[in-house]
Structure 1
Amino acid sequence: MSENAPAGSSAAVRCLTYIDSRIAFVERQILAISVMLMALNTVGNVIARIGFSSSLFFAEEFNRFLIVLVTFVGASTAARYGRHIRMSAITDVLPAKPRKVMMTIIALVTAALLFALAIFSISYLLSLYQSNRLTPSLRIPVYLIYSFVPLGLLLTAIQYVFAAAANILRPGVHLSYTVKDMESDGSSSM
């Protein structure tokens, strides 16, 4: 722990690390199962087309649902590993302290925007729920398919809050809770 770290930050870091590891576990399970289902669905559809001259009636719709799921849950995973696209021309030339402040501000603003988007998406989800729309093939309520949008946005926002916390509670500059910016150490990030 750094001498400059706030009192009690060790307990805070342990708590955040535990929460992050639980979220990461759930995300990995969701992503792994979704990708496997997508592959099975696609292979099954190809076999049906070649072997029976007819596609599975639900294949495209089911894959579309899984793509929404993987996209929004995967956004959180990308944030956890500092893999989102970032514009770093300004922050790369800053000294360590201003760079750390800038990364904290960027993480907090990004988290606030993602929380706002999550709220808007919940509002949209409620309107979908009230519309009673069903998907054409599987006859699943449309709101169920898009229910992973606010979840993914919330999880990603949490990752950015964690990134800000890492910059506040830990020494060095952090791209995410688990990834330290190697540029701040003087070494290459690639």
Structure 2
Amino acid sequence: MEEKKATYSSIVFRFVDTQISRLEGFMLAVSVVLMAANTIAGVISRFVFNYSFSFTDELNSIFIILVTFSGISYAARQGRHIRMSAIFDTFPDWLRKGFTIIISAITAAVMFFLCYYAVEYIQTLMQRGRIMPALGIPIWWAYVWVPVGFFVTGVQYVLTVVKNLREKDIYLSTDMLDGYGDIDADIEV
């Protein structure tokens, strides 16, 4: 019975994780495409029609925030954050695993800390009632993705800690093993 419960919770976890990953990927792709379309439309209108859209810069700033903060959680999920590993890679596996757990735990704590302060910042913006002049929407709407991105990234690093505590191998994320793979297999003679 205990195994069925663990298997069921693993299936539910994997399903939810997969759906969040798909949502992040969709948000990143759509935001980048819309940002490019908005920029191109702004350039064409300015140079061809001698008319500039007033909302282009504000809209692009919203897309940049969305891409940045959904991108950090996506990168954490894929194990793609920048790592300085020249010395780290020379350590024995048990020490690398220990450092991976410690680094992931500290990173998760920092992400949750930043999430907390991002929420406080958004509350301050809400109280001030500022709006974006061209779009006419409250400025805090643009910043909603900041704490969401920090929170989901923190969760990803917590899951990385759990994965490393449960598994024998060293994981950079829940799915990404540490290592470089078989480099010689990629080289053709």
TM-score, normalised by the number of residues in structure 2 = 0.87
Structure 1 residue corresponding to 2:91, chosen from 87, 91, 94: 94
**CA distance 1:16–1:94, change in 2 (3 Å):** farther
Structure 2: which amino acid aligns with 1:36?
V
Aligned-partner SS, 1:53 = coil
Q: Unaligned stretches of 5+ in structure 1?
A: 1-7
CA deviation map 1:123-144 (0-9, x unaligned): 1110000000011211211110
Structure 2 residue 65 is the aligned partner of structure 1 residue 68: yes
Q: Where does residue 154 of structure 2 map in the other structure?
A: 157
Task: Answer whether contact 1:68 1:146 (CA < 8 A) is retained.
Answer: yes
CA deviation map 1:45-95 (0-9, x unaligned): 122112210111111110011001100100111111111112324431221
TM-score, normalised by the number of residues in structure 1 = 0.86
Task: Answer whether contact 1:9 1:169 (CA < 8 A) is retained.
Answer: no
Aligned-partner SS, 2:61 = helix
Aligned length, in residue pairs = 180
Deviation at 1:171, TM superposition (A): 2.5
Taking only the aligned residue pairs, the percentage that are identical comes to 39
Structure 2: which amino acid aligns with 1:181?
D
Structure 1: which amino acid aligns with 2:74?
T
Q: Where does residue 39 of structure 1 map in the other structure?
A: 36
Q: CA RMSD in A?
A: 2.0
Greater relative contact order structure (CA < 8 Å, 6+ sep): 1
